[in-house]
Amino acid sequence: MGENLDASERSLESALDMLDAVPSGGMPSDELRDIRIKIQMGLNALIQNEKAIWLRTKKGRDILGDFKEASEKLVEAVEQLKGGTSQTSMDGVKAALADVEASAKKLNDETRRRSMVVT
Partner 1 sequence: MKLLVTGGAGRLGTELIRIASARGHSTRVFDLPQVPWDAVEEIPGVEVFKGDITDRDVVAEACRGVDGVFHLAALLPPKSEADRVLTMRVNVEGTRYVVEALEDRPETPLIFASSISTYGPTADERLPISEDHPQVAHDNYSESKIEAERLIRASGVSHEVLRIAPVAVADLVELPDVIPYRADQRVEFVYVGDAARALYSAFESREARGGVFNIAGGESWQMTGAEYIEGFYEALGVEVEPRFSEEHTAVDWYDTSRGRLLGYQRVTFIVFVEKLKAVAEQLGLI
Q: Give the integer Cα–Cα distance in Å for 74 and 96.
A: 5
Shortest Å, Cβ 114 to partner 1: 5
Q: Give the integer Cα–Cα distance in Å for 111 and 119.
A: 19
Contacts for 60 with CB less than 8 Å, ≥ 6 apart: 1, 52, 54, 110
Q: How many residues bind partner 1 (CB under 8 A)?
A: 16
Shortest Å, Cβ 119 to partner 1: 5
- In the list 2, 59, 83, 98, the residue contacting partner 1 (rule: CB under 8 A) is 59
Closer Cβ to partner 1, 24 or 53, answer by number: 53
Q: Mind giving me the DSSP string for 80-103?
A: HHTT---HHHHHHHHHHHHHHHHH
Closer Cβ to partner 1, 87 or 119, answer by number: 119
Asked if 118 is part of the footprint of partner 1 (rule: CB under 8 A), the reply reads yes
Q: Give the integer Cα–Cα distance in Å for 113 and 52.
A: 12
- In the list 57, 75, 102, 108, the residue contacting partner 1 (rule: CB under 8 A) is 57
Asked if 105 is part of the footprint of partner 1 (rule: CB under 8 A), the reply reads no
The stretch near partner 1 (CB under 8 A) out of 14-22, 34-42, 50-58, 86-94 is 50-58
The enclosing H or E element of 27 equals none
